[in-house]
Amino acid sequence: MQTTDDNRPLAGVKVVEFGQFIAGPGATQILADLGADVIKIESPNGDNGRRFGVNAASKGRSGMFIAYNRGKRSIALDLRCAQGVAVARKLALGADVVVQNTRVGVMASIGLDAATLRQEKPALIYASISGFGTAGPSRQRPGLDIAAQAESGMMSLTGEAGGAPLKTGFAVVDAATATATANAILAALFRHARTGQGETIETSLLTVAIALQAQIWAEYGCSNQLPQRAGNAQPLVAPAADLIEVKDGYIVLSAYMEDHWKRLCEAIGQPELATDARFASSNQRVQHRPALMTILHDAFGSLAGEAVRAKLEAFGVVVGVVRDYAQVQASEDVRACGIFQSVADGLGGEVQVPGLPFSLADTIPGAQMARVPGLGEQGDEILRQAGYDDAQLQVLIDAGVVVRPASPRQTSAAREPAKPTAAQV
């Protein structure tokens, strides 16, 4: 690890990423935000995330790529040829951490897997992300977030009672896998700092998706009853996470603890409900949930969401106003926490995206403007730092091993999709 005047936690740590879409790039994005120098090795056609959702409405920009690749450096290498693999190997062996989420077996086929690289550099930390793990019969299957949601049980309990299974509204498994991988890398870096030893890290979308449901798995183990879809309601307690329509939208509230339930009854001016036989305990409230919901709808339906929130909070009842993205960004609480940061899109504009969901007051005092790299934009710089001179660099360029961008800010739409070098998880 290099010494540096940068005070951020991972300053001086070099990371090489072979990643596409969210899980791999998301993990290294966390490391980059913490100060690591992340070198993103892409095929000549780039991370497939560069093309995700690119249309007229997005103004030629990929929200996925902007969200998970700010502040990195990009080099475009053709790993279908031996020279390209040799360059990638040199960059990987010059790093402290390698992260990859190619399909199982791809990296081994070109000698860039953990076993091969760590044999040459035992201190290397190497993290691999797969769809379904590397030991089971599905190890060769391509895996995406939606497949993990389906096969982990997550979709089986998401949706309305009696309705079809539903996925979440965003790629929750991909995002959670990115965080889990970053956590594992941070633990390995801490161990490396103490012992000098490297580590081989493996995780998968499937295992992370299962781990996210730990409470439900425990409840299943206690009852031996399959969890059922229950919409917004909590199936075991009430009222909890119940959705109530109000004058200008919806709210959710949670008052299943007995003292909270009494406060809710007082808040709606019906304290006698606390001793009503239908609602005297959480189990009874679950049994009579339709009647309970009718009472709450009648109590709040004529009020605006913010008025309901103020009223319930005055009685210490947990409540949330269901907000759309525009309302979230306008929220004074959200503005105060500083979660959003501006990212330069490489086209002269800026996009607001969430940054780290925590602050480190002594080491990261304030977010600075980062930007996404153009495909191969820092290739020359990266290779010179790795020890290649101008003549060697020119040989690689002439052979098509290193691909330079058409312009310093090549856009995600500049190249047509082609068969990628390595299949994404």
Catalytic residues: 174
Our measurement of the distance from residue 319's CA atom to the centroid of its chain's CA atoms, rounded to an integer in Å, reads: 26
- Is residue 185 within 8 A of residue 99, CB to CB? The reply is yes
- Is residue 346 within 8 A of residue 375, CB to CB? The reply is no
Polymer length in residues for the chain: 425
SS3 labels along the chain:
CCCCCCCCCCCCCEEEEECCCCHHHHHHHHHHHCCCEEEEEECCCCCHHHHCCCCCCCCCCCHHHHHHCCCCEEEEECCCCHHHHHHHHHHHHCCCEEEECECCCHHHHCCCCHHHHHHHCCCCEEEEEECCCCCCCCCCCCCCHHHHHHHCCCHHHCCCCCCCCCCCCCCHHHHHHHHHHHHHHHHHHHHHHHHCCCEEEEEEHHHHHHHCCHHHHHHHHHHCCCCCCCCCCCCCCCCEEEEEEECCEEEEEECCCHHHHHHHHHHCCCHHHHHCHHHCCHHHHHHCHHHHHHHHHHHHCCCCHHHHHHHHHCCCCEEEECCCHHHHHHCHHHHHHCCEEEEECCCCCEEEEECCCCCECCCECCCCCEECCCCCCCHHHHHHHCCCCHHHHHHHHHCCCEECCCCCCCCCCCCCCCCCCCCEC
Position 46, amino acid = G
- Is residue 308 within 8 A of residue 246, CB to CB? The reply is yes
Tokens describing residue 407: 């312009």
Which among 10, 366, 33, 310 is positioned nearest to 188, based on CA atoms?
A: 10
- Is residue 373 within 8 A of residue 72, CB to CB? The reply is yes
Place of tokens 């305990």: 281
